[in-house]
Amino acid sequence: MIFQSQSSTSAAPPATPRAAPPQLDGTAVEGHYDELREAGGKVRSHYEPVIADLQKRDVAGVKRLADTARRLLAERGVTFNIYDAKGLDTPWQMDPVPFVISAREWEAIEKALIQRATLLNAILTDSYGPQQLIKDGSMPAAMVLAQPSYIRACHGIKVPNNKPLQVYGADIVRALDGQWWVISDRTQIPTGSGYALENRLITSRLLPDVFRDARVRRLAGFFRQMQQSLAALAPRPVEEPRVVLLTPGPYNETYFEQAYLARYLGYTLVEGEDLTVRDDRVYQKTLNGLEPVDVILRRVDDDFCDPLELRNDSMLGVPGLVRAVRAGNVALANSLGSGLVEAPAMMAFLPSLSRKLLGEELLMPSVATWWCGQENPKAEVEKNIDHLVIKNAFKVRGREINFGEHLTVTERTALIERMRFAPDRWAAQEKISFSTAPVWEDGHLVHKPVSVRVYLVATQDGYMVMPGGLTRVAAKMDSSLVSMQKGGTTKDTWVLSDGPVDNVTLLSNTSTPVELRRTGHNLGSRVANHLYWLGRYAERAESSARLLRSTLLRCSPESGMSETPLLLPLLEALKNLTVLDDVNDVAALASQQEQLEARLLEAIFDPDHPSSVRSCVAHIQRIGVLLRDRISVDTWRVISQLGDALDTYENTPSVTPMSDALNVLTRIILELASFHGLAKENMTRAQGWMFLDMGHRLERTVYICELLRSGLRSADAENPSLLEAILEVGDSTITYRNRYSLLPQLAAVYDLLMLDELNPRGLRFQFERIRQQFEHLPHEQKSALLTPAMRIFLEHNTRLQLCDPTELARVEHGTWAQSQVAKLLTQLIEAMPQLNDALTASYFAHSTISSSEVAPPAEPAST
């Protein structure tokens, strides 16, 4: 058996021997409640279905569960940002063994947390309203007026349905005696519900049979209620209120969850710059203009939400948001200032406030708390400091936590002095030994401390509890904190049902009539900008890789100096495109084999080179993070793995650099082809696709023009070997051979790459695609005039159509600069930055000033 009881009887060996099932290392940890087993060693009844399933597996079988969980999480792109040197996209950690809670026990938890949410909501309502609790002495004034979390600008603002606390999270743990305690309240931004949902989706796939047979309650009903509750907050009577999720951006630790929830709930993910306030109303900037916003589900901290009335250095908020809230034109969930009741010191007053406001004792107690702003509690804290946890009384940035038992004599004395100097800033709490649950680790099931974050959402009559939650596991048995930032992991939380489980879905009732559409909401300007630059950087990386690959193939030491003249046009193109940086004389560089190789490798792998392939890939991945709620899982997978080839080179220095570099470039080209294929075949031809494709086509135009111009200027312009290289870079060799069956000739090559509108690598093809996108772009309805971008495009498209490629056959060396074709290529290269700026001003910046929001601070000249 997987878990041995303290007494057992011998039994006959099985007829067919099998690998031994995994064993739980050791017995229950002394001083901790064992979630799995009773005092006699028997597995608790609500855990029996899970344990019975694990008993059927050997160690390798359970390991496969863990490996499958990691693979599924990686495929779905589930990440958590840890604030250290690792940077973004730390893989989400989930243990395959769920945390199980019985139906009877959950009933008590549910009732207690609904009571607590109701109490905290009442405190918030009073604190930002009549403040009667302060006036009658039920709560010290410092609990409100001295708190950094108290937003004075929001006092007196009416909140829809009198529910400032729309979404609530409570961190609960079980002490040694089996009693559940609340150790912290999450009233401002209760994060983690999206991760809890993701854990559920993974675990239900890993253990489908036991999940069904155990009667695990579903989570979808909670999120459906959230949709309904947020829609009910809308200040204007509309059938479909516009609800957006306001994010701090991709560098926030839970950005994946924000993008995931936005997609799951059907909300638009926005940053502060996507919104604007006009006449005390909040609008979202879209390509078709400003669209009114009714409800904001925010993930931006209180004081960062409005730089005008709150924190003036905030770049995350919306100027004028408080004014719009005060006017009643937009609703926020949670309301501004709701972080007030998160303060650890507040827990010291909740028992008495519950009796006063609700006429009830707290059903689930808070961890014992003392606020040092009162004389008697302060004296008790000083006397028992060795057994307490000392922390900031109120929520502050860079908050401090001190475990008294770990302090030296000097540290303890210094802390007491600081507490005496400003006693109201400190609170002390009893240290609770968290319960333990089985966790799969290094081939064994081991005990680890756990805590559970449970989520509630406001309803018309009260609160609804998510039948589950986010179970977090400490990194070590002796850890004082359970934290993902400190290396912890998570579990799915199974709440069992005594009866049949309802299958709940977020899909609308099939009997409800639906208005058929071909597009969604108008695309936000920032998202359009991101998609546009995603297209540009994807094409920039691919074209650079193709040009570098052809160059590397022709600079082999075995060829000596024979290939040097043919290298010069390719090197000239790389120089003009800034892929080769700080090169004045390409001929001198081509004559120095070692230096040339070093510069070419630098153009591929150097992360500090702004136009290297690695830098372009980094930009693609960064923009991919910004578009997590807009791109498919498969597309995200391709983007996230794009840099693997570059990393492989970096980690294998023993491989010959030049041959390895060629392999890397080929892999990059193939992976980018996968990206372009997914975009072409999977994206609907809506506004997002149009801007992605326009960026792609504009960037390809720049590269084709520079390649052709560099070839024309060469003294060997008509050399078949050079023309072969140009066809190779332009991925048109097979097309040319199928058409002409002869050595490359100047006019035919340039006709194929310039004027053939059927060649996806040709200039005419790019312009035709850009023309098609222009026809569907939103235009200013009041004006019949062409936009600046259209004027630039039409002018140069006409010139391209009038170009005669046969003129190339009559151009003598030295006079090419005076030819129509040479002038056209130069004009197109100069026009592309102008077209880029016109598009930016019209659709992204909504101004006459060019924006480089997603582009690096200094764009290459090729833009």
Look at the block and give the residue holding tokens 């290269």.
Answer: 829
Cα distances (Å, whole numbers) of residue 21 to 3, 12, 44, 95, 540? 9, 17, 19, 18, 53
Euclidean distance between CA atoms 123 and 147, whole angstroms? 14
Euclidean distance between CA atoms 55 and 664, whole angstroms? 46
Beta-carbon contacts of residue 143 (< 8 Å; ≥ 6 apart): 134, 343, 345, 346, 349
Kindly tell me the number of DSSP H helices and DSSP E strands found in the chain. Answer: 28, 21
C-beta of residue 223 within 8 angstroms of C-beta of residue 264:
yes
- C-alpha torsion 634→639→641→646, nearest 10: 160
Question: Which fold is adopted by the domain 368-430?
Answer: Dna Ligase; domain 1 (3.30.1490)
Beta-carbon contacts of residue 681 (< 8 Å; ≥ 6 apart): none
Closest CA relative to residue 586, chosen from 723, 719, 714: 714
Question: Where exactly does CATH 3.30.1490.270 map onto the chain?
Answer: 368-430
Beta-carbon contacts of residue 230 (< 8 Å; ≥ 6 apart): 166, 243, 295, 297, 333
Check residue 14 and give its pLDDT. 43
Check residue 445 and give its pLDDT. 84
Helices 593-605, 613-626: axis angle to 10 degrees equals: 0
What's the distance, CA 343 to chain centroid?
A: 28
Euclidean distance between CA atoms 470 and 193, whole angstroms? 7
What's the distance, CA 129 to chain centroid?
A: 37
Element (DSSP H or E) covering residue 284: strand 281-286
Check residue 740 and give its pLDDT. 87
Torsional class of 588: left (φ above 0), alpha (ψ -120 to 50), beta (otherwise): alpha
Q: What are the two backbone dihedrals, phi and then psi, of residue 18, each rounded to the nearest 5 degrees? A: -135, 165
**Triad 87, 92, 95: Cα angle to 5°:** 145
pLDDT, tens digit (0-9, with 9 covering 90-100), for 718-773: 888 889 999 999 999 999 998 887 888 888 888 899 888 899 999 999 999 999 88
Closest CA relative to residue 463, chosen from 299, 248, 294, 226: 226
Look at the block and give the residue holding tokens 């043919």.
Answer: 566
Check residue 10 and give its pLDDT. 36
Beta-carbon contacts of residue 246 (< 8 Å; ≥ 6 apart): 270, 271, 272, 275, 296, 297, 298, 299, 300, 305, 318
Euclidean distance between CA atoms 659 and 655, whole angstroms? 8
* CB-neighbour burial class of residue 407 (10 A; exposed 0-12, middle 13-18, buried 19+): middle
Cα distances (Å, whole numbers) of residue 780 to 289, 532, 540, 844? 9, 20, 31, 14
Check residue 331 and give its pLDDT. 96
- Spatial strand order in the sheet of 401-403: 369-371, 426-430, 388-392, 401-403
Check residue 517 and give its pLDDT. 52
Check residue 476 and give its pLDDT. 81
Torsional class of 449: left (φ above 0), alpha (ψ -120 to 50), beta (otherwise): beta
Three-class SS string for 337-396? Answer: CHHHHHCHHHHHHHHHHHHHHCCCCCCCCECCEEECCCHHHHHHHHHCHHHEEEEECCCC
* β pairing state of 489-495 and 94-101: parallel
Annotate 265-304 with b (16+ C-beta within 10 A) or e (fewer).
bebbbbbbbbbbbeeebbbbbbbeebbbbbbbbbbbbbbb
Residue 696 structure tokens: 């792609």
Q: Where are the beta strands (DSSP E) in 24-111?
A: 79-80, 90-91, 94-101
Euclidean distance between CA atoms 61 and 206, whole angstroms? 11
Residue 389 structure tokens: 């946890």
Beta-carbon contacts of residue 31 (< 8 Å; ≥ 6 apart): 176, 433
Residue type, 777: L
Helices 525-553, 593-605: axis angle to 10 degrees equals: 160
Torsional class of 77: left (φ above 0), alpha (ψ -120 to 50), beta (otherwise): left
Check residue 343 and give its pLDDT. 93
Question: 421: how many CB neighbours lie within 10 A of its CB?
Answer: 9
Euclidean distance between CA atoms 757 and 23, whole angstroms? 68
Closest CA relative to residue 291, chosen from 851, 627, 778: 778
C-beta of residue 780 within 8 angstroms of C-beta of residue 731:
no
- Spatial strand order in the sheet of 243-246: 268-270, 243-246, 295-298, 331-333
* β pairing state of 444-458 and 470-473: antiparallel
Q: Identify the segments of the chain with pLDDT beneath 50.
A: 1-18, 26, 85-87, 508, 510, 518, 560-562, 652-654, 780-782, 847-863
Residue 152 structure tokens: 């004075």
Three-class DSSP category at 23:
coil
Model's pTM, two decimal places?
A: 0.82
Residue type, 430: E
